[in-house]
């Protein structure tokens, strides 16, 4: 079984458009789907699930859509944190949170603190996140921790300790819904050896049954990690 699954949740707006609905309702439908996928991962013994909720590039979207996404994020944190806590879900939110409103930042801290001791599964929500940002902030954090050392002393192992997801293993399976075949600046370091599963399913249509199909596909992959023999 993969120990770390990462998902690019793509297709909310197209799901809404197909139903002649506003984009906000597509995002709301996608948020509802998260609970099913988290529960399915936990039931199958997957330790880490990371979801790409909002990228550093998403600020370029219309102001109304960005505002509705921020409101949805706040609502999700308010409504779901008790359920997550009851079901043993540990929540982590990674990304540049400084751009969020003080109220949203406070909700994030509250949710992370409340669920910090849970062990059933770690759910990482990547918000205002980008893989390039992550590597840059990790390098800066390393330099701050070692002010007297040159960048020539920086190793892969040392940098990995300062990534925003340093508490999690590298990604085993990366899933992208919505029919696109790119990773869009998501976990560039962490997914270096991930198996990439692309599906035409729009995110609100990505059911636990579809997740099981992706996991089954992963289990039949011949993972070599650069060597000549499978591992």
pLDDT in tens, 59-78: 888 888 888 889 989 998 99
Each residue of 188-198: pLDDT tens digit? Answer: 999 999 999 99
pLDDT at 126 over 90: yes
Residue 226 has pLDDT above 80, yes or no: no
User: Is 217 annotated as ligand-binding?
Assistant: no
Burial class (CB within 10 angstroms; exposed 0-12, middle 13-18, buried 19+) of 157: exposed
pLDDT of amino acid 63:
86
- What is the H or E stretch that residue 134 is in? helix 131-145
Q: Is 27 annotated as a binding residue?
A: yes
E strand or H helix at 144: helix 131-145
Query: Which pTM does this prediction carry?
Result: 0.93
5 carries a ligand binding annotation? no
Residue 130: phi, psi to the nearest 5?
Answer: -150, 145
Walk across the sheet containing 89-94 and list its strands. Answer: 89-94, 121-129, 48-55, 4-8, 173-176, 195-198
The helix-helix angle for 102-114 and 63-86 (nearest 10°) equals 20
Say whether 118 counts as a known binding-site residue: no
Residue 176 assigned to a binding site:
yes
The reply to whether 228 sits in an annotated binding site is no
Known active-site residue 185: no
- pLDDT tens per residue, range 13-34: 999 999 999 998 999 999 999 9
**Is 36 an active-site residue?**
no
Query: What is the pLDDT, as a whole number, of residue 58?
Result: 87
- The answer to whether 38 touches 123, Cβ cutoff 8 Å, is yes
Catalytic option among 36, 58, 118, 185: 58
pLDDT value for 41? 97
Strand segments, DSSP code E, in the chain are 4-8, 48-55, 89-94, 121-129, 173-176, 195-198
Residue 157, marked binder? no
pLDDT tens by residue, 135-152 = 999 999 999 999 989 989
List the domains of the chain with CATH numbers. Answer: 4-217 (3.40.1180.10)
Averaged pLDDT for residues 88-109: 95
């Amino acid at each position: 079984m993969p120990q770390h699954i990462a998902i690019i949740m793509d297709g909310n707006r197209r799901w809404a458009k197909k139903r002649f609905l506003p984009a906000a309702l597509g995002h709301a439908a996608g948020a509802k789907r998260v609970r099913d996928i988290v529960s399915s991962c936990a039931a199958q013994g997957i330790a880490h699930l990371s979801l790409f909720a909002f990228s550093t590039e998403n600020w370029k979207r219309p102001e109304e859509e960005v505002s509705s996404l921020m409101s949805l994020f706040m609502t999700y944190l308010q409504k779901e944190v008790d359920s997550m806590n009851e079901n043993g879900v540990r929540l982590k939110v990674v990304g540049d949170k400084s751009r969020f409103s003080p109220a949203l930042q406070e909700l994030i801290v509250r949710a992370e603190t409340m669920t910090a001791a849970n062990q059933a599964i770690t759910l990482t929500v990547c918000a205002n996140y980008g893989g390039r940002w992550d590597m840059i902030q990790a390098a800066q954090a390393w330099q701050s921790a070692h002010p007297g050392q040159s960048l020539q002393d920086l190793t892969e192992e040392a940098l990995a300790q300062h990534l925003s997801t340093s508490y999690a293993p590298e990604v085993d399976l990366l899933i992208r819904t919505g029919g696109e075949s790119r990773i869009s600046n998501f976990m560039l370091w962490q997914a270096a050896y991930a198996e990439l599963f692309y599906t035409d399913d729009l995110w609100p249509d990505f059911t636990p049954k579809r997740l099981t199909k992706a996991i089954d596909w992963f289990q039949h992959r011949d993972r070599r990690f650069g060597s000549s023999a499978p591992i």
